[in-house]
Structure 1
Amino acid sequence: MEKILEKAPKIKIIFFDIDDTLRVKDSAFMPESITEVFYKLREKGIMTGIATGRNLFGVVPEVRALKPDFYVAINGAYVENAQTGEVLYKNTFSKELIEEIITWLKNEQSGYSFVAADSLKISKWDKIASDAIGPVYSELEENPNYYKTNEIYQMLTISDHDDQLELPEILSDKIRLVRWHPNSSDIVPMEGSKAIGCQKVLQELGLKAENMMNFGDGLNDRELFDFAGLSVAMKISHPEILEKADYITDSVENDGILKALQALKIID
């Protein structure tokens, strides 16, 4: 604990995951203590960011109301200064790559969703899609050709056999799968991650990894936990994230974020 406390004074910016970190994904519960946390961090001159697999459309009003300084969205593929609206970084899929992915998923009898900066479309809306995406984005419009006229930053697999999907050789060096639900995986660029998006913010600010802290719980936080100077896992985190964490805190419902920041003496 002593070594962790030595890292705390160097922190200049803190990034927060949304689902099951800032708020409970299934119930949408967000404790009042989160508002207190963001207020106290601002008072101390510590900047804040949202680092999420969601796109901007999925950043719900109560999270926007926290007035973070930066959005690292779509697993790092889209980075925006939340105060000015300036886009600091974006990494889109080529149409050729998307068509290769669609061909593969069709052969695997899997549906798919397109993730743009502020909208999502799906190949088919059914119960499988509803179970996975409904709690996050609600019902999506069907549009299997959406990629032809819009920039796409990420795709999602949608199937009841998602754990059996394997990338073909033609795609294995271009993309990777990050499972976030029994029925769905994020399809991200091989080099894409929240860590890359947060690194773009640090470069903009002239900061180093040691100046950054993050809170998370899922496998899409894996690279971020390797990169950040100080990483905190929620109690219910994936075992791999718990293993990588510098500090493990309580659940969302039990004010885990506030407790961690107080224990690490970042806020009172």
Structure 2
Amino acid sequence: MEKLLNRAKDIKIIFFDIDDTLRVKDTGYMPASIPQVFAALREKGILTGIATGRNLFGVVPEIRALNPDFFVTANGAYVADGKGQIIYDKPLPETVVTNLVTWLERSDVDHVFYGSDAVVASKWTDLMSDAITPVYGKLSVDPDFYQTHAVYQMLTLSEQDDQLVLPDNLAKQVRMVRWHQHSSDIVPMTGSKAEGVRRVLEQLRLSVDNVMNFGDELNDVELFDLGGLSVAMKVSHPKIMKMADYITDTVENDGIEKALKALNIL
């Protein structure tokens, strides 16, 4: 613990996942301690950021109201500061999106497109509703969205999602990351929250030793690998629990506040 406390002294910026980290995904519950934490960090001169698989459309009002300094969204593909200035903007190549749509349609797999500030479904089904509604509510439907908008990542929706295998022509360019029993993120091969956070650190001229990350799911793996201090929530995926420097309590039990106090950051 002494080593962790020494490392915590170097923290200058903290990134937070949203779902089951800042708020409960299924209910939207966010404890009163969260706004207090952000205000206290601001008073201490510690910067804050959101690092999420959601895009800006999915950053709900109560999270925006925390006034974080940075938004790393769409698993690192779209990064902006708190004033809306874009730091990093890397949509999937148009040919890759077209090939993904062709493969998914041939495989009879429904899908979701992530624009910079829109989330659109190819079709709205009960399976789609079960996975997506707790995160985004009901989505608009436009199977041709990708033809007129930049796409930063996609989601698969299938009863056999765990059996989907990318064809060879796509497997070299994108990868799938499970986040739900019926759905996976499709992100660039080199894309991750870590890439987005790295861009913020470069702009601030900070090192990885200056960053702390809170997360719970597999799309936090690269972020936890990046360096700095990593804190997993009590409900985290087992792989994330093993990677974490520190494991804290659940959202409902003020896990973030407890961790920051235990590490003498607050």
Aligned partner letter, 1:234: M
Structure 1 stretches of at least 4 aligned residues deviating more than 6 Å after TM superposition? none
CA deviations over 1:122-181 (Å, ceiling 9, x no partner): 110010100111111111111111111111100110111111101111111100000111
For structure 2, which runs of at least 5 residues remain unmatched after alignment? none
Q: What SS does the aligned partner of 2:171 have?
A: coil
Q: Does 1:4 align with 2:4?
A: yes
Aligned partner letter, 1:191: T
**In the alignment, which residue of structure 2 is the partner of 1:105?**
104
Deviation at 1:105, TM superposition (A): 1.0
- Identical positions, percent: 59
Contact 1:48–1:70 (Cα < 8 Å) also in 2 = yes
**In the alignment, which residue of structure 2 is the partner of 1:153?**
152
**In the alignment, which residue of structure 1 is the partner of 2:17?**
17
**In the alignment, which residue of structure 1 is the partner of 2:27?**
27
Q: What SS does the aligned partner of 1:231 have?
A: strand
Q: Does 1:121 align with 2:120?
A: yes
**In the alignment, which residue of structure 2 is the partner of 1:58?**
58
**In the alignment, which residue of structure 1 is the partner of 2:262?**
263
Q: What is the TM-score of this pair, normalised by structure 1?
A: 0.98
Deviation at 1:40, TM superposition (A): 0.6
Q: What SS does the aligned partner of 2:169 have?
A: coil
Q: What SS does the aligned partner of 2:197 have?
A: helix
CA RMSD of aligned residues (A): 0.6
Give the whole-Å Cα distance in 2 for the aligned partners of 1:229 and 1:95.
Answer: 35
Q: Does 1:249 align with 2:248?
A: yes
Q: What is the TM-score of this pair, normalised by structure 2?
A: 0.99
Give the whole-Å Cα distance in 2 for the aligned partners of 1:160 and 1:115.
Answer: 21
**In the alignment, which residue of structure 2 is the partner of 1:75?**
75
Contact 1:55–1:117 (Cα < 8 Å) also in 2 = yes
**In the alignment, which residue of structure 1 is the partner of 2:165?**
166
Contact 1:49–1:70 (Cα < 8 Å) also in 2 = yes
Give the whole-Å Cα distance in 1 for the aligned partners of 2:106 and 2:164.
Answer: 11
For structure 1, which runs of at least 5 residues remain unmatched after alignment? none
Aligned partner letter, 1:255: D
Give the whole-Å Cα distance in 1 for the aligned partners of 2:107 and 2:148.
Answer: 25
Deviation at 1:94, TM superposition (A): 1.7
Contact 1:214–1:228 (Cα < 8 Å) also in 2 = no
Report 1:139-150 matches (<5 A): 139-150=138-149
Give the whole-Å Cα distance in 2 for the aligned partners of 1:128 and 1:44.
Answer: 45
